[in-house]
Amino acid sequence: MADLRIDGHTRVIAHLGHPTHSFKAPLIYNPWFAASGTRAVVVPLDCPAGALDALLPPLMAAPNVLGALITMPHKVGVVRLLDEVSRTARVAGACNAVKRLPDGRLVGDMFDGEGFVRGVQRKGLALAGASALVVGSGGVGSAIAASLAAAGVAQLRLFDLNDDATQALSARLREAHPALRVQVGDRDPAGLDLVVNATPLGMEPGDALPLDVNRLDARTFVGEVVMRERITAFLAAAQARGCRVQVGTDMLFEQIPAYLEFFGLPVATPERLRELARLDTPQENTP
């Protein structure tokens, strides 16, 4: 196990969010930086709601700060502090990565959806022309929908108990992807190529399932964003129906190569990142 050495040449990636206790990124990036001899470190900075506007600009102006990982509650709010955002971030309405360009401008991107998409593609699911249902139109659901659209799905069904969130997401998707068929307000998974739980359902024991699993076809690929358990109740039900699945931490590990590219740092495969990661519970490291 290579040791993380921090010295005066170390570049900093600030991990901004609140609360910090459940942050996983430092436990994934830093072992990779140590193993690869990359002079960089991910540092958690506790940034409560309302504190981002004062902190982000001076922090990002520090010459040895490469950028920031942005998480709850700032993924949406950070957008208006940036000079530029990627198309995916614009459609998602949120950013989870910020960097400073050589001219000082701040640019943001959103990799949650990218991680999800890379994961299912690497498991053999072809997305071009596919049909998908994303349950949950919050930050992560919007990001997944945006990345699925960018990956070429033909039909996207969106559902959230907060109908306003779904309508707003739908409008941004239609504007960026005029050829995409967007359908809102229905969470029937029957007959679709891909179904995703992007709600927090599954975080707490006894949570309801996000949709009617009895309507799942065996040929449908089922993805999950909840990381609390490797096989959530929803994934277990999908597997019982014969579906292939993607677990929550896959989205996490699959998006890190994209983040590393964004920051201009040496890139590792998701498998290598998992092997090195030092998450709190052993099961979290298991794909």
Binding site for a second copy (CB under 8 A): 1, 3-10, 12, 18-24, 26-27, 30, 41-48, 51, 54-55, 57-59, 61-65, 278, 280
Catalytic residue among 24, 75, 99, 123: 75
The helix/strand/coil state of 104 is coil
- H or E segment to which residue 158 belongs: strand 155-159
- Going by the DSSP 8-state scheme, the letter that residue 213 receives in this structure is G
Smallest separation, CB 60 to a second copy (Å): 10
CB nearer to a second copy: pick between 46 and 271:
46
Q: Report in angstroms how near the CB of residue 269 gets to a second copy at its nearest.
A: 22
Q: Which residue has the tokens 């597997």?
A: 239
123 tagged catalytic: no
Q: Are 192 and 181 in contact (CB under 8 A)?
A: no
Measured from the CB atom, is 52 or 127 closer to a second copy? Answer: 52
The minimum distance between CB 62 and a second copy, in angstroms, equals 5
Q: How far is the CB of 115 from a second copy (least distance, A)?
A: 19
In this complex, which beta carbon is closest to a second copy, that of residue 9 or of residue 179?
A: 9
Q: Please state the φ and ψ torsions of residue 249, each to the nearest 5 degrees.
A: -70, -15
Nearer to a second copy, 24 or 99 (CB): 24
Helix (H, G, I), strand (E, B) or coil at 113: helix
d(CA 86, CA 131): 24
d(CA 243, CA 218): 5
Question: Which amino acids are annotated catalytic?
Answer: 75
